[in-house]
Structure 1
Amino acid sequence: MERFRVMIYVIEDEEIQALCYQAMLERAGWEVRVLPDGAGALREIQREAPDVVVLDRRLPDIDGLEILNWIRERYPTLPILMLTSAVLELDIVTALDAGADDYMVKPPRERELVARINVLRRRTLDGHQGMIMIEIGSYLIDTRERAVYLHGKQIALSPKEYEIVELLARNVGHVVPRGTVVGRVWGHVDEESNSRSLDTHIYRIRHKLNLTCSNGVMLRVIYTHGYRLDDLSRMDSQRQSRVELGAG
């Protein structure tokens, strides 16, 4: 049984095609949100990141490759399946080189579309499940025991506090939108009470974990977007590498 609901964004401007894809994916048991233009899709992804993106190569306002690059810069592990009307090898290679995980030529066959998305999801989940122990700064997160340790001492967290910490830790260095946190932990994105509860949980997490520079981890609030967990030691190493490259 899956721990969280699965949300798929279909970014497609042709209404009939979009509704067809939506029906296919909903029959597979997934939640689907149809986004008819690129600008709206980017706003929605920032508000709540999905589990999979099905992206049309050509949109009326923003080229699909631009959206692909934008997503890859901010959500490097988000699975993206690109749909294209082109059958030329060059177009397909261009999409894959730009960061698409897979592609299908329109119109996709239902069973194949569902199967390919399942492959992408399994690949992502296997990568995440492989992270049994997550080390960040002075903290150790044991995902099997659902426990967080600071200098070897376990910190008492509620189940929801732990889920928030694990979600942020699996995306260390990347902004996790508020809507994504609420959707993954509470299952409802738009409920105001859950949003207020998130603020309370973040406050408690800061204090329980003592997230300070001395422990090597900071939890940052990114205004109007969400939260980012930063591993300060990793950032220092990256900064030092850039300095050395510049000196070379």
Structure 2
Amino acid sequence: MRKILIVEDDHRLSESISLHLTKEGYLCECAYDGQMAMKYFSKDTFHLVVLDINLPKINGLDLCRNLREKDARVPILMITAFGDIESKMEAFDYGADDYLVKPFHLKELTAKVRVFLKRAEQNIALQEAYAFIDLIIDPNKKTVIREGKEIHLTPKEYSLLEYLVKNKNRIVSKDELARNVWDINYGVTPNTIEVYINFLRNKIDRGFEHKFILTKPGFGYYISSQTS
């Protein structure tokens, strides 16, 4: 049985989500503010968190960051009334894995829950850290080290880098990144991907002689194993 923490201050919505997911075979625990959620999360093991952004005591974004610091691998699905791209990017920067805009259909929520729980089951075994030139990536701790220095990435930046490294020496289009890094379609734009590529370049390549993240104009991005 997979256990889900639902953090939503609207009691009616929280109950609806809980009842629906319970019928789907999941165990659910409901928290109505950020402090209550932290208490539950610290005392129990959850396989996924459904998290509203607007919460009393500890807001959803800060709570997301706190939960992510305690567990780097638990999937976090944020729900909010704000659907603009800036709000989505902010949620990703704080550690969210996906984003659902109110009002939403409970079947859509269930579909996302299934995707993330299936992926988490596939990744439950510890994986070996792998090196790429002077870059070391630890998929268990979600850390990145270059030339002995840890580079702090947001979860979305980490996922983007990991996907490019796994597909090294191959050009990856923006459409492919949208499907595989941002998961199911929820409005990610080419401009959003460009912004995150720039974020990643500033952290991974800036100040280093060898540049990892390269662009093939009109086609996409790639990471080359060539050091010259």
TM category (shorter chain) comes to: 0.5 to 0.7
User: Which residue of 2 is the match for residue 115 of structure 1?
Assistant: 111
Q: Percent identity?
A: 29
Number of residue pairs the alignment of both structures matches? 137
Matched, 1:76 2:50: no
Find the counterpart in structure 1 of residue 207 from structure 2.
none
The alignment's TM-score, normalised by the length of structure 1, stands at 0.51
Deviations 1:87-117 (A, max 9, x none): 2111011101221011111122121111101
Give how far 1:36 is off: 0.5
Offset at residue 134 of structure 1 (A) = 7.8
Work out whether 1:43 is the aligned partner of 2:39: yes
Gaps of 5+ in 2: 130-139, 150-228
1:148 matched to which residue of 2? none
How do 1:22-41 residues align onto structure 2 when only pairs under 5 Å count? 22-41=18-37
- 1:1-248 alignment runs, 5 A limit: 5-129=1-125, 131=126, 241=148
CA distance in 2, matches of 1:28, 1:107: 20
Task: Provide TM-score, normalisation by structure 2.
Answer: 0.55
| Residues in 2 aligned to 1:124 and 1:68: alpha-carbon distance in whole angstroms | 18
Task: Specify every segment of 5 or more residues in structure 1 that has no aligned partner in the other structure, as ranges.
Answer: 136-171, 174-237, 243-248
1:128 aligned counterpart, secondary structure: coil
User: Could you say which structure has the higher helix fraction?
Assistant: 1
In structure 2, C-alpha distance between the alignment counterparts of 1:40 and 1:23, rounded to whole Å: 20
Bigger-Rg structure (1/2) = 1
Question: After the TM superposition, which segments of 4 or more aligned residues of structure 1 sit over 4 Å from their partners?
Answer: none
The one-letter amino acid of 2:114's match is: N
Q: Paired residue for 1:177?
A: none
Q: CA RMSD in A?
A: 2.5
Range moving further from structure 2, 120-129 or 73-82: 120-129
Counterpart of 1:35 in structure 2: which amino acid? Answer: A
Deviation at 1:65, TM superposition (A): 0.7
